[in-house]
Amino acid sequence: PFEPMLAGMEEVGTGLLDRLDAMQRVAASAPGGPLLIVAGPGTGKTRTLTHRIAYLCAELNVFPDQCLAITFTRRAAEELRHRLDGLLGPVAEDVTVGTFHSLGLTVLRENAAAAGLPADFRIADDADRAAARAEAGDDDERYTALLRKRDLVDLDELLTLPVALLKGDRKLVREYRERWKWIFVDEYQDVDAVQYDLLRLLSPPDGNLCAIGDPDQAIYSFRGADVGYFLRFSQDFTDARLVRLNRNYRSSAPILAAAVQAIAPSSLVRGRRLDPARLDPEAPLVGRYAASSAHDEADFVVRTVDELVGGLSHRSLDSGRIDGRATSLSFSDIAVLYRTDAQAAPIVDALARANIPVQKRSHDRLRDRPGVPAIARELRHAGLDGSLAARVRQAGQILAERFAVPTLDGSGAVRPEDVRTAVDLLTPLARRCGDDLELFLNQLATGAEVDALDPRAEAVTLLTLHAAKGLEFPVVFLVGAEDGLLPLRWPGSEPNDDAVAEERRLFFVGLTRAQDRLYVSHAGRRARHGAERDTRPSPFLDVIDPALFERLDATEPRRPKDHQLRLI
């Protein structure tokens, strides 16, 4: 029905699937019907998913406007869109790509009256919700009624209302099934009960649903995600095909071996394996450091970063702490991962003392950042001119001046500098939305993330293990690998088996973020819950073959002699 562009692949004489490995090709070219792709870390999940959509459209005459691709974050949706543009060219615009919340919003906008909503309903922001909650008390029905009185819906209702609407209207279900005959879901292990209900309504048991993910990376049960839906896929969908992607293109062989051993006791993937595409006999072992304290651990991170980037000062060279050889690593290649945000403080302090630039990653929603709700309200009510980005700047200027003047009504709680920061954070989203104010406000309300991480910044990245999901770095430090932190345990409580299994999956996620070098450290003493306590290494380390570790403790030589000889 159309002529797709294949992003220049024709020029080098290759077909659409020629750049995929054997199992990626099997997944991308599978015929219609339910398909579950188990994609381990670093196995090309997004690549496979986008090539499947492109292959169906280019080779099997599937119309792009019959395709719906669902992700969990706006950033993932944008990446999917970008890759589809490269594979299919202009027709990629006809593929519907979005988050679960944006999908729910689409259904509600198209059926507002049937859902009992005015056509111009909007999503409640933090101030709206706080006001309604304060007036309603603990009465959820009254809270919802107050929102409706103001033509508002709660963010959670972007999913619950469409599900209720579809459950009560089989004709509407048929219409959407006819519209989106091919559905693709990324990170299927992270769906919750409402998202699952929505998918079951949109896709019949024998429908063309392609789900991709990895149950061993299911780490969001605290948000309501239930890995059980992934595990029961073949029961829910008739004659479902299963394809496993095991070839890892990210990490060195020692890192993969350690990761597979670490996850083995509670793996949800039968016969879990990750085959390294990179076979480098000189690949370094996993560094392991037993620190005496959190401060000693932080100093270890600084010393090792110093070595990796080739020395931060002549003093480093003069003291013999590094050998001065050339390195291609930079600060932006290095990440420090930890279980709890409280662990970051000594690391940040130590890096700052050594003049090593640091950036902490944030996955906060934009609407939760100080100053953002105020700018959104100003945009809605003030008569501003120009492009959306220009209006954001004007609103910020007005608010910064307003909040610079102390008032009695409490508005001074927002500082002018918060507003200026908010303008910087909102401007990229405003540019993407062009002049469409409603789109901009809807994206804010449906959870557009702010990511304070600048991939171009020359800085070491610090982030929690949960925030590290989906990322990769040449060098990773996983600090605080101690019983009580990994698995996380509160004083006086014993985690149940399911909780420990999820903590092990979180450890697996952390290990598999590393491409070339991985360092795991633990402290003998650490301050937690207001007191310094003796700690012991995480039991998750016990199942990893000691031969995969290079001990870097103070009592051990920094480099084995055979390693030095190889370098010479």
- CA distances (Å), 477 to each of 350, 467, 525, in order? 14, 14, 19
380 or 534, greater pLDDT: 534
Give one DSSP letter per residue of 353-417, joined into a string: HTT--EEE----BGGGSTTHHHHHHHHHHS---S-HHHHHHHHHHHHHHHHTS--SSSGGGS-HH
Q: Which residue is associated with the tokens 């009254």?
A: 142
pLDDT at 9: 31
Q: Report the mean per-residue pLDDT for the chain.
A: 86
Span of 144-158, 309-323, 338-352, 394-408 with lowest mean pLDDT: 309-323
Q: What is the pLDDT of residues 248-298, one digit of tens each?
A: 999 999 999 999 999 999 999 999 999 999 888 889 999 999 999 999 999
pLDDT at 12: 26
Position 14 pLDDT exceeds 70: no
Q: Residue 74 — very low, low, confident or very high, per pLDDT cuts 50/70/90?
A: confident
pLDDT digit string (tens) for 125-162? 877 888 898 998 889 899 999 999 999 999 999 999 99
What is the pLDDT at residue 184?
A: 98
224-243: pLDDT as tens digits? 999 999 999 999 998 999 99
- Percentage of the chain beyond pLDDT 70 is 88
Q: Provide the residue type at 306 as one letter.
A: D
21 alpha-carbon distance from chain centroid: 25
pLDDT category, 455, cuts 50, 70, 90? low
Q: For 538, what's the count of Cα atoms within 13 Å in the CB-facing half-sphere?
A: 28
What pLDDT does 453 receive? 56
Higher-confidence position of 314 and 83? 83
Residue 333: predicted pLDDT: 95
Buried b (16+ CB within 10 A) or exposed e, 45-65: bbbbbbbbbbbbbbeeebebe
Instruction: Grade residue 25 by pLDDT with cuts at 50, 70 and 90.
Output: very high
Q: Largest alpha-carbon pair distance within the chain?
A: 77
Q: Which long-range contacts (CB under 8 A, 24 or more apart) does 318-324 make?
A: 323/567
Share of the chain above pLDDT 90, in %: 63
List, for residues 50-68, the tens digit of each pLDDT value: 999 999 999 999 999 999 9
pLDDT in tens, 417-429: 888 888 887 887 8
Give the dihedral sign, CA 557/559/560/562. negative
Q: Which helix (H) or strand (E) holds 13?
A: none
What's the Cα-to-Cα distance from 309 to each of 283, 302, 330, 446, rounded to whole Å?
Answer: 18, 11, 6, 40
Most confident of 107-121, 326-340, 376-390, 545-559: 107-121
Per-residue pLDDT at 564: 38
Inter-helix orientation angle 388-403/372-381, to 10°: 110
Cβ distance 310 to 316 under 8 Å?
Answer: no
Centre a 10 Å sphere on the Cβ of residue 491 and count the other Cβ atoms it contains.
9
pLDDT of 331 strictly over 50 = yes
pLDDT for 312: 53
| pLDDT on residue 430 | 85
Of residues 195 and 12, the one with the higher pLDDT is 195
Residues 371, 392 contacting (CB under 8 angstroms)? no
Residue 317 has what pLDDT? Answer: 40
DSSP bridge pairs for 293:
525
For residue 438, the model assigns a pLDDT of 81
Q: What secondary structure letter does DSSP report for 190?
A: G
Q: Look up residue 514 and give its amino acid.
A: A
Identify whether the C-beta of residue 41 lies closer than 8 Å to the C-beta of residue 248: yes
At 81, the pLDDT band (50, 70, 90 cuts) reads: very high
pLDDT higher than threshold 70 for residue 411:
no
pLDDT on residue 554: 56
Model confidence at 450, pLDDT cuts 50, 70, 90, reads low
Residue 431 in tokens? 């540019």
